């Protein structure tokens, strides 16, 4: 059933210190987003982070394609309401674009014209400590749609619903204690009438011993279950893996990215971050694995019970966490159709294929240069850390590859069912650090406890930027693109057999999805960021690209002397084919 959207015909009026602003808009249809729509979204829409709950990052739209992509031109652009890292994911439904940006500022915009419909300003408390404040300036994909609501996770650890037609707050729940340092820096997964969230900030002083994945009723925010990634009494291997460190002295295992969902298995899949402090001589865990850090967790969606786990980097000493998106793909493996979790889970760029139902290891493949993993067992998938670069003394520098910034970072991978390829944006980097002793850390600060000595380009690399394409059935490389600047956006795959991705040198590019050849490029005002998205309104396909401040330009080590431009603010840019212009 369509519901009538009529915004107030008045000038912009602030309704409250924290609340929506109204802008001009006349009657508009808005159809509530249902569970069925989420599982099989209209190709015209982009309802949540990777469009579909399997996290493919693929759109079947093909009006813009291999043959005509050179005719793309700018339709409109929009300056974002908040400064900070440009990591936005535009969400689109019924011709309305919703933007959730830094400090949880939310806007609704006409997706055809670029006109503002409403905006919401979130009032948050003052945080203690630099790291917690930094979390507010790196909101990646903080919103999704359900019913008549925009579902929002906030930097002060709330889950909220805003009315999609007005921006008014409908309900809110305090999921975790922001005063201890908990936050959300990535958005919700909505499926089966539930909202699933993964906690950020589990590296801050006050968050010891508890880091959570939670499920909530999507209609009112009521909590249904929570899973603690830093404690599991039901698994004897868990306690042993921490080497006697009590729960109140554990940090890390943050599930700070957005999960995926499989409706047939009724499971959600989340990745987790590194153990903290970074070095084992600081945290006191010895040569133990440290569960459930750097792991894939498969959780029964209805109960919150753990179905299986797989650890991608035991004994991490380098802050190379593995929280990134888990993709669910059905493919033929050795003549048999299997459902896999395909993921490049962590910063070291090693990509895995795991059985989605059981967690059984299927394959693993290296992409970028790395020296932190010395081996992966071909039968079990057991990962062995490279002991030669594990620090044994405080203050002694050691070099590892890739750097803490990746490798890969939050920029999302994509999968195309047309090419049957998996696409990874990455970087060829190394870093030198030294471990610090456990000492007093001020409230609101992170517990990493390292000293940094700088980054460098990886051995034998011709540039930092890399985009790798792998076959999902076995991980075999299909092609790789290498360039000087890093790719700084997520990847979008489309039915037009294109990949959209952008880099630190301000170029957004459309690539052939089977060869990586550049078919079109356009330079914007700042490094390309966030997640490219495509949608359709009244028969016209659009592609929206974000640009702005980025912490991954690698300006000091990029060949050719790339420097950061003077940034005047974050923005989005919307393109369409020239013959579609009015």
Whether the per-residue pLDDT at 361 is higher than 80: the answer is: yes
pLDDT digits (tens, 9 = 90+) for 402-427: 999 999 999 999 999 999 999 999 99
Whether the per-residue pLDDT at 8 is higher than 50: the answer is: no
- pLDDT band of residue 221 (cuts 50, 70, 90) is very high
> Given the structure tokens 């408390």, which residue do they identify?
125
- pLDDT band of residue 18 (cuts 50, 70, 90) is low
DSSP secondary structure letter of residue 130: H
Q: Which of residues 129 and 562 earns the better pLDDT score?
A: 129
List the structure tokens of 125: 């408390």
Q: What is the mean pLDDT of residues 296-310?
A: 98
Provide the pLDDT for residue 78: 97
List phi, psi (to 5°) of 578.
Answer: -60, -40
Mean pLDDT (the chain) is 92
- pLDDT band of residue 6 (cuts 50, 70, 90) is very low
Q: How far is CA 567 from the centre of its chain?
A: 23
Provide the pLDDT for residue 16: 35
As a whole number of angstroms, the longest Cα–Cα distance in the chain is: 68
Provide the pLDDT for residue 12: 30
Provide the pLDDT for residue 420: 98
List phi, psi (to 5°) of 169.
Answer: -70, 125
CA dihedral 406, 407, 412, 418 (to 10 degrees): 170
Helix, strand, coil shares of the chain, percent, nearest 5, are 5, 40, 50
Provide the pLDDT for residue 566: 64
DSSP secondary structure letter of residue 527: -
pLDDT digits (tens, 9 = 90+) for 422-435: 999 999 999 999 99
Q: How far is CA 338 from the centre of its chain?
A: 25
Provide the pLDDT for residue 28: 81
Lowest mean pLDDT among 21-25, 78-82, 153-157, 164-168: 21-25
Distance CA 5, CA 332 (A): 46
pLDDT digits (tens, 9 = 90+) for 524-564: 999 999 999 999 999 999 999 999 988 888 866 766 556 66
- pLDDT band of residue 567 (cuts 50, 70, 90) is low
Distance CA 374, CA 79 (A): 46
């Amino acid at each position: 059933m369509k519901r009538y959207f009529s915004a107030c015909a008045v000038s912009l009026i602030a309704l409250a210190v924290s609340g929506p602003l109204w802008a001009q808009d006349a009657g508009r249809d808005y159809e509530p987003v249902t569970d069925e729509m989420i599982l099989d979204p209209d190709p015209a829409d982009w309802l949540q982070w990777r469009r579909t709950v399997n996290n493919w990052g693929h759109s079947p739209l093909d009006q813009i394609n291999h043959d005509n992509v050179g005719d793309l031109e700018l339709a409109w652009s929009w300056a974002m309401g908040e400064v900070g890292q440009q990591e936005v994911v535009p969400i689109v439904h019924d011709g309305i674009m919703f933007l959730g940006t830094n400090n949880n500022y939310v806007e609704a915009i006409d997706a055809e014209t670029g006109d503002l419909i409403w905006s919401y300003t979130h009032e948050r408390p003052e945080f203690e400590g630099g790291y917690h404040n930094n979390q507010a300036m790196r909101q990646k994909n903080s919103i999704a749609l359900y019913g008549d609501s925009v579902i929002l996770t906030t930097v002060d650890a709330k889950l909220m619903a805003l009315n999609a037609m007005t921006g008014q707050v409908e309900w809110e729940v305090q999921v975790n204690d922001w005063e201890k340092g908990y936050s959300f820096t990535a958005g919700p997964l909505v499926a089966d009438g539930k909202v699933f969230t993964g906690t950020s900030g589990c590296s801050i002083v006050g968050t010891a011993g508890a880091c959570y994945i939670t499920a909530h009723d999507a209609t009112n925010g009521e909590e249904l279950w929570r899973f603690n990634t830093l404690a599991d009494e039901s698994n004897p291997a868990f306690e042993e893996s921490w080497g006697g460190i009590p729960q109140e002295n554990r940090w890390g295992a943050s599930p700070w990215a957005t999960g995926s969902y499989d409706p047939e298995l009724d499971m959600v899949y989340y990745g987790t971050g590194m153990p903290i402090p970074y070095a084992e001589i600081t945290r006191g865990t010895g040569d133990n694995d440290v569960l459930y850090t750097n792991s894939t967790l498969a959780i029964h969606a209805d109960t919150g019970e753990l179905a299986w786990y797989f650890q991608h980097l035991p004994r991490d000493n380098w802050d190379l966490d593995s929280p990134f998106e888990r993709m669910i793909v059905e493919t033929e493996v050795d003549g048999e159709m299997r459902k896999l979790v395909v993921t490049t889970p962590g910063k070291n760029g090693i990509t895995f294929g795991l059985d989605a139902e059981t967690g059984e290891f299927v394959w693993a493949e290296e992409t970028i240069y790395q020296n932190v993993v010395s081996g992966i067992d071909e039968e079990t998938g057991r990962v062995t850390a490279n002991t030669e670069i594990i620090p044994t003394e405080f203050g002694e520098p050691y070099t590892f590859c890739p750097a803490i910034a990746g490798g890969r970072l939050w920029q999302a991978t994509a999968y195309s069912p047309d090419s049957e390829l998996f696409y990874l944006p990455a970087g060829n980097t190394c870093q030198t650090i030294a471990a610090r002793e456990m000492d007093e850390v001020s409230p609101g600060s992170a517990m990493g406890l390292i000293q940094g000595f700088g980054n460098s380009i990886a051995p034998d690399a011709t540039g930092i930027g890399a985009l790798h394409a792998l076959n999902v059935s076995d991980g075999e490389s299909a092609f790789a693109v290498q360039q000087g600047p890093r790719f700084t956006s997520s990847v979008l795959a489309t039915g037009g057999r294109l990949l959209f991705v952008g880099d630190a040198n301000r170029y957004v590019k459309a690539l052939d999805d089977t060869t990586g050849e550049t078919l079109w490029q356009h330079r914007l005002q700042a490094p390309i960021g966030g997640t490219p998205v495509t949608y359709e309104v009244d028969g016209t396909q659009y592609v929206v690209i974000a640009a702005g401040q980025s912490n991954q330009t690698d300006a000091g080590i990029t060949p050719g002397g790339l420097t950061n431009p003077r940034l005047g603010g974050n923005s989005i840019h919307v393109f369409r084919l020239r013959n579609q212009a009015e």
